Amino acid sequence: MNLLSRRNRAWTDLTIVLIVAAVCGLVAANVELIEWLFTLTRQWERFQIDELAVVLVALAIGMTWFALRRYADARREVLLRNEAQGRLAEALAEQRRLGQRYVALQEAERKALARELHDELGQYLNAIKIDAVAMRDTASDSATRQAAATAIIGNADHVYRTVGGLIRRLRPVGLDELGLAAALEHIVDGARTRAPATRFSLAIDGDVERLGEHCDLTIYRLVQEGLTNCAKHASASAIEIQLVRGRDERGHNITLTMTDDGAGANWAQHRDGLGLVGMRERVESLGGALHITTAPGYGFRFVASFPLEGAGA
């Protein structure tokens, strides 16, 4: 209710009070109320009943004073509560900013580590492999040296594959160079390779490029965690992923929906794992919400939605 409405309501209430008071005065004057009361209470004059009007007036004044005091106390309490709510909102906003900063620092550290692994360790492993190949090709007269070189090549290949896997886990492949859509297609293709019996579906509606690094990483990590959970727990035959960029009265927003037809979970007895906690923190750091629907035998579904303004888009 705005200020003008409150003022109009106050004047309306005051008008009603004045009208009621005027009507009571007219009625009292026409029926000679005071004389009637004097006649009625004359027989109890020794009890000073005729002075009851003074008591009632004092009681009315006292109750008015009491009501004003309670109103002042209630107003102070409302003001204090509003101040507390304002401080709580500021604390929540600060927590959100800290959450965004934490995720940004975590991703920056992962990015730097992935770059270092790729530039330094990968380079030296490749040099070892080249030397081992040269040793094997130029030492055909020595079976021992050739076997050793072959072992070196195999070990280097194994370490190289391991490092490549770590790099892909630390930093999404192609996210910086090719964009979010290509990175999501890549991770889904990898899931198809690991689970050929499962049908995967990825649908992207709207322009999801150039949303901002924080937003891109959040969407990618949500899909990554969802695929990991499906592989570990769901035993699903079909997994559907839908990413939609929309707009409502509050502005542009992103909605990510992931559904599987796997085993589901008893949510009443379920305890959030670190993966789901991390997913929720990422979404809430962008000012959004994560909703989960599941039941034993009915699969698992999560819907993450957040405004793009909260991601700096």
Q: How confident is the model at residue 91 (pLDDT cuts 50, 70, 90)?
A: confident
Whether pLDDT at 196 is above 70: yes
- State residue 259's pLDDT score: 93
Rounded CA gap, 71 and 37, in Å?
35
- The torsion of the CA quartet 172, 178, 181, 183, rounded to 10 degrees, works out to -20
**How high is the mean pLDDT of the chain?**
79
Query: Of 265, 263, 262, nearest to 199 (Cα)?
Result: 262
**Position with higher pLDDT, 219 vs 104:** 219
Report how far residue 17's alpha carbon sits from residue 11's, in angstroms, rounded to the nearest whole number. Answer: 10
The C-alpha atoms of residue 312 and residue 306 are separated, in whole angstroms, by 11
What whole-number distance in Å separates Cα of residue 181 and Cα of residue 145? 48
What whole-number distance in Å separates Cα of residue 221 and Cα of residue 214?
Answer: 10
Largest CA distance in the chain: 142
pLDDT at position 251: 79
Confidence category of residue 310, pLDDT binned at 50, 70, 90: very low
Separation in Å, CA 145 to CA 69, 136, 140, 154, 157:
99, 7, 8, 14, 18
Give the model confidence (pLDDT) of 98-121 as tens digits.
777 777 777 777 777 777 777 767
pTM over 0.75: no
Give the per-residue pLDDT at 115: 76
Count Cβ atoms below 10 Å from residue 44 Cβ, excluding itself: 10
Burial level of 230, CB count in 10 A (0-12/13-18/19+)?
A: buried
Summarised one tens digit per residue, pLDDT across range 241-277 is 999 998 877 778 999 999 998 888 776 555 555 567 7
> Is the model's pLDDT at 46 over the cut of 70?
no
Q: Are 262 and 77 in contact (CB under 8 A)?
A: no
Evaluate if residue 239 carries a pLDDT over 90: yes
pLDDT at 313 over 50: no
Q: Give the pLDDT band of residue 240 (cuts 50, 70, 90).
A: very high
Instruction: Using the predicted structure, report yes or no on whether residue 182 has a pLDDT greater than 70.
Output: yes
Predicted confidence at residue 311, as pLDDT, reads 46
Mean pLDDT of 65-91: 87
Contact between 256 and 242 (Cβ < 8 Å): yes
Give the full edge-to-edge strand order of the sheet including 251-260. 199-205, 238-248, 251-260, 300-307, 289-294
Check pLDDT > 80 for residue 131: no
Weakest-pLDDT range from 68-72, 225-229, 264-268? 264-268
For residue 312, the model assigns a pLDDT of 44
Region 63-81 average pLDDT: 87
d(CA 240, CA 261): 9
